[in-house]
A = this chain, B = another copy of it.
Amino acid sequence: MSLVTKALVLREKNAIPAVEDFFLPPMRNNQVTVKIHAAALNHRDVWIQQGLYAKIQYPAIVGSDGCGYVSDVAEGVSESLIGQRVIIHPSLMWGDDIKAQSNNFQVLGMPTYGTFAHHCIVDADRVYAAPSYLSDAECAALPLAGLTAWRALMTQGKAQSHHKVLITGIGGGVALCAAQFALALGAEVWVTSGSQDKITMAQHLGAKGGILYSEPDFGKSLMKSMGGFDIIVDGTGGETFNHALEAIKPGGTIVIYGATAGTPSNVNIHRIFWKQVHIIGSTMGNDNDFAEMLAFVSQHRIKPIIAKTFLLEQGAEAFRYLQSGAQTGKVVLLMENM
């Protein structure tokens, strides 16, 4: 039986996302329907709205982050799940290789229908009990950013409490989660940003210091002032890559989870081999990463940082706000005024 829900639907490239009634296909076996209370935006959603993503299929309901209550279950799923508050794990079909996702890997929200809707249908093994100390909005702010940060910092970077960790671009959701995780671990955390306000905010969280991108040779400055980093977690790419090669300790690890600033013009390869640097790419995370992240977050009572909340009906505005880059933390959509 299909379900009519209210959803923020993308009908074509660059169309303004608008709420409409949408027929969701019926649940398949082993699936559940989640009545979404809160969802959160990721850059991926905006790239899909702008047509800047591979293999876009319309109509699309994007949204990889969601929190809500299980409202229905299909065959193969225990009815005891109904009514439970859950958080959705957005990695679909990772596969068996712990080192990398399979070719079938998808992120929730396009081509599957995502969380920017009043209901979202997912496989039952994608829902996890929502940490009770977090609000719906805070739960929605966690999954994709928290998962990406966890795999980058912990699974790939193998961060430890005695490490000095640099997190670049501290306004972003992944960067903030990585900083919160590293701080909870007891590591010494430094940040970079284009904005002094964001650096100050990170210092309030517990970061030891920060440096502006605009600082010439900021990699060298950091190396001089604090002796280099054991781990650098970077989602910006571009020239930051060479600064990271400067600021990393010999034998240290640079984890790259994105490249919002594009490609560096010249990579200093000599520094890679002479300093015996480890550079590790990281994308999202697998089921183990997600479970570990949730357990760590709950244990340390970590609250994801929310920059601003919008109603689903204000989705277009929320997309513009995320694009502006002004935010510190996650942009959250609430399904109803609560």
Contacts and interface: CB of A to CB of B under 8 A. Distances in A.
Given A265-B266, A278-B280, A273 B259 contact: yes
A251 B97 contact: yes
Copies held by the complex: 2
A55 interface: no
Which has the most chain B C-beta neighbours within 10 Å: A237, A273, A283? A273
A82 interface: no
Q: How large is the interface on A (under 10, 10 to 19, 20 to 34, 35 or more residues)?
A: 35 or more
Contacts of A269: 237, 241, 256, 259, 262-264
A279 B272 contact: yes
Contacts of A282: 273, 276
Main SS class of interface, A: loop
A78 to B, nearest CB: 34
Nearest to A148: B273
A283 B279 contact: no
A77 to B, nearest CB: 31
Interface string A86-110: 0000000000010111000000000
B241 A276 contact: no
A100 B250 contact: yes
Given A99-B251, A266-B263, A278 B279 contact: yes
A81 to B, nearest CB: 32
Which has the most chain B C-beta neighbours within 10 Å: A156, A241, A271, A277? A277
Contact of A273 (B251, B275, B283): B283
Q: Which 10 A-B pairs have the closest CB atoms?
A: A99-B251, A100-B250, A100-B251, A273-B281, A272-B281, A259-B269, A279-B279, A100-B276, A237-B269, A276-B281
